[in-house]
Structure 1
C-alpha cells in the first residue's frame, strides 16, 4: 500500500516553520516526512538553508514520523565518513525512523569549498564509493579505506542504531537509476516515470521501495497560487543539466527568467480542486511508487493541511 508523506523544503522555510509543518503533517494523517539537504536555496526569493542534520534532530523531538533526506550529496561538501556519523546518529535519535537518501548532487551546494565540480560519470563513481564507505562505517566496525576518491583510516562509529540505516539512491536518468538498483536499498526520483523505475528494478532494485514526489500550491485563488509558484520555484522547470551545474542562486535567478507563468499553470497543481490534487499524486502510485511526498509551496500551510486531511488523503486511500 502506498504511503503518503509531506516534503519539508529547507530552501523555502525556516527551522521553526518546518517543525510546525512536521507537527501539522502528522496531525493531518501523513505517513512520513522528507527533507531537502541544501547549503544554498535555489534562489534568493526562497531565502533559507538550515543545516539538515540539526533539523533531523529537532524533528525527532516533535514528530514520530519517519524522516528521509531528499537528498544528501555525500561526496564533496562533507566527507562520506562524516555523513556516516551523521546518518548513524540520526538513526539513533529517531529510533530507527531515519532513511538516508543520497544523490550525486548539484554544484549549487557542493562547490562552496572550492573543489572541482566533476562530470556526471565521475560524480556517480564518487557516489558509489561514498555509499560503500558509509555502509562499512554504519556497521560500527573499524574501517580503513583507500579508494580512488576517498581515504578513511582507523575510523569507527561508536554510536550506531540498532538497525541498519537504509540508503536510498536518487536518480533522474538511466545511469543513475541503474546505480540505484545496484547499490541502493531503494530509489528516489521526482517524476512518475515508469521506464526509469523499470530500469532501477531490472538493474538489481527488484521490489525495493521507490520514493518520489511533487510540489503543489493549495489556495482558494488559483491565479494567485500560480504566481506564488512562479515566484518561489521557477527553477523546477529549467531544462537539461542546468540544475546540476549552475553554481550560484544568482545564476538560477537569471535562468528562471525564461520560465513563464503559463508553464507553471500547465505543470503544477494549483488551487483547491481536490480531484486535481488527488489525480496528480495518484500518477505516482500508478507508476509504481511506494511512497509519494507532497510539498506545499508558499505560506498557505494551514489551509493545505486542512484540505489534505479532509479532502485529498481520504480520496487517495479510498475512504
Structure 2
C-alpha cells in the first residue's frame, strides 16, 4: 500500500499558511510532505512564492513528517554546490527525514539571472552533472570539480547528515525517466502512468521508490470547485513544452482564454464525491507508485483536511496492498 502525503504549494500560499497546512496534514493522518520550489507563481491569481529553504526550516519545528522538495532545479538559478548545502542542512534539521527532489526546471523560475534557457537535452546533461556535484559534497569531504557546466573549488560541507541526502529525479518523458533510473535514488512523476513506472524500474530503478502528485479541489459546490481549479491552476492544462518554455506569469495568463471549465473538469478531481477522490489517488497505487501526494487547490484547506481525515484516507488505508516488489518505502 502506498504512503499518502500532502503537497504544499508555495506558488499559492505564504510561509505561515504553508506551516499551518503542514500541521493540519499531520493531524489528518498524512504521512509525508512535498513542497514546491519556485521563484515565481505560475500566474498572478496564485500570488505567492516564498523561499522554500526558509519554509523547510519552519516545517522542521512544526511537524515530524518527512519533507521533500518537488522539485528543485539545481542547475541555473542556484548552483548545485549551494543547493547541496541547503539540502544537507535540511536533512540535519529533520533528523534524516529529508529527500531532495530535482528536475530540469522551467524558464519561469530559471530565467531570472538573464542567462540562456538551454534546450531539454542540455538541461538533462546539466542535471546529471549537478547531481554528481551534490553527491560528492554530501560526503563532507573537500570537493574540486571542473566539469562541462560547473566548477567547484575546494568546497566542503561541514554540516552534513549521517547518511547522504537521497536525490529523487523527476521525469515526464522517456529521456528524463531513463536518467532518473540511472542516477536517481527514486523517481518522481505527476501522472499515474504505469508505462513510465515500468520503464523506470526496467531501466535501472529496480525497487527504488516512485512518487507522484495530484491536485484536487474539494468543495460542496462542484461547479465552483471546477472554476477555482481552472482559475488557479489552468497552467497544468497546457499541452507540450509550454510549461517549461514560457518565462513569466504574464505569459501563462495570456493563454487563459484557451482554457475552459470542461478541460478543468476532465483534468482535476473537484467537489466532494468520496469515491472520485479515492479513485484519483488510487490510480497511482494501481500504477505501482510507492508514495502519492495530494494538494488542495484554493483556500478551503480546513474543509479539505477534515474531508480527507474522516472519509478519504480511511478508505485508501484500508485498500488491498499493492503488488509485492513495487519498491515500497520502509
TM range (shorter): over 0.9
| More displaced 10-residue stretch of structure 1: 196-205 or 304-313 | 196-205
Q: Tell me, in whole angstroms, the C-alpha distance in 1 between the residues paired with 2:137 and 2:146.
A: 14
Per the TM alignment, residue 255 of structure 1 is displaced from its structure 2 partner at its CA by 1.7
Q: Who is 2:76 aligned against?
A: 76
Q: How many residues align?
A: 319
Q: Who is 2:226 aligned against?
A: 226
Q: Who is 1:42 aligned against?
A: 42
Q: Tell me, in whole angstroms, the C-alpha distance in 1 between the residues paired with 2:311 and 2:145.
A: 52
Superposed CA offset, 1:133-173 (max 9, x none): 00000010100000000000000000001121110000000
Q: Structure 1 unaligned runs (5+)?
A: none
Q: Tell me, in whole angstroms, the C-alpha distance in 2 between the residues paired with 1:133 and 1:257.
A: 43
- Whether contact under 8 Å (1:215, 1:297) holds in the other structure is yes
Q: Who is 1:58 aligned against?
A: 58
Q: Who is 2:179 aligned against?
A: 179
Q: Tell me, in whole angstroms, the C-alpha distance in 2 between the residues paired with 1:132 and 1:187.
A: 17
Superposed CA offset, 1:49-69 (max 9, x none): 000000110100100000010
Q: Tell me, in whole angstroms, the C-alpha distance in 1 between the residues paired with 2:144 and 2:52.
A: 27
Alignment partner of 1:129 is 2:129: yes
Superposed CA offset, 1:241-266 (max 9, x none): 00000000000111232110111112
Q: Who is 1:286 aligned against?
A: 286
Q: Tell me, in whole angstroms, the C-alpha distance in 1 between the residues paired with 2:256 and 2:191.
A: 20
Per the TM alignment, residue 78 of structure 1 is displaced from its structure 2 partner at its CA by 0.5
Q: Tell me, in whole angstroms, the C-alpha distance in 2 between the residues paired with 1:69 and 1:139.
A: 21
- Whether contact under 8 Å (1:220, 1:271) holds in the other structure is yes
Q: Tell me, in whole angstroms, the C-alpha distance in 2 between the residues paired with 1:29 and 1:60.
A: 17
SS at match of 2:211: strand
Q: Who is 1:9 aligned against?
A: 9
Q: Tell me, in whole angstroms, the C-alpha distance in 2 between the residues paired with 1:279 and 1:147.
A: 46
- Whether contact under 8 Å (1:238, 1:256) holds in the other structure is no
- 1:99-248 equivalences under 5 Å are 99-248=99-248
Q: Who is 1:271 aligned against?
A: 271
Per the TM alignment, residue 115 of structure 1 is displaced from its structure 2 partner at its CA by 1.1
Q: Tell me, in whole angstroms, the C-alpha distance in 2 between the residues paired with 1:179 and 1:251.
A: 30
CA RMSD after TM alignment: 0.7
Q: Tell me, in whole angstroms, the C-alpha distance in 2 between the residues paired with 1:90 and 1:171.
A: 23
SS at match of 2:192: coil
Q: Following TM superposition, where does structure 1 have runs of at least 4 consecutive aligned residues deviating by more than 4 angstroms? A: none
| More displaced 10-residue stretch of structure 1: 253-262 or 110-119 | 253-262
Q: Structure 2 unaligned runs (5+)?
A: 320-330
- Whether contact under 8 Å (1:11, 1:41) holds in the other structure is yes
TM-score (norm 2): 0.96
TM-score (norm 1): 0.99
Q: Tell me, in whole angstroms, the C-alpha distance in 1 between the residues paired with 2:290 and 2:59.
A: 23
Q: Tell me, in whole angstroms, the C-alpha distance in 1 between the residues paired with 2:257 and 2:46.
A: 15
Per the TM alignment, residue 269 of structure 1 is displaced from its structure 2 partner at its CA by 0.6
Q: Tell me, in whole angstroms, the C-alpha distance in 2 between the residues paired with 1:257 and 1:132.
A: 43
Q: Tell me, in whole angstroms, the C-alpha distance in 1 between the residues paired with 2:238 and 2:288.
A: 26
Q: Tell me, in whole angstroms, the C-alpha distance in 2 between the residues paired with 1:269 and 1:19.
A: 24
Q: Tell me, in whole angstroms, the C-alpha distance in 2 between the residues paired with 1:63 and 1:256.
A: 37
SS at match of 1:257: helix
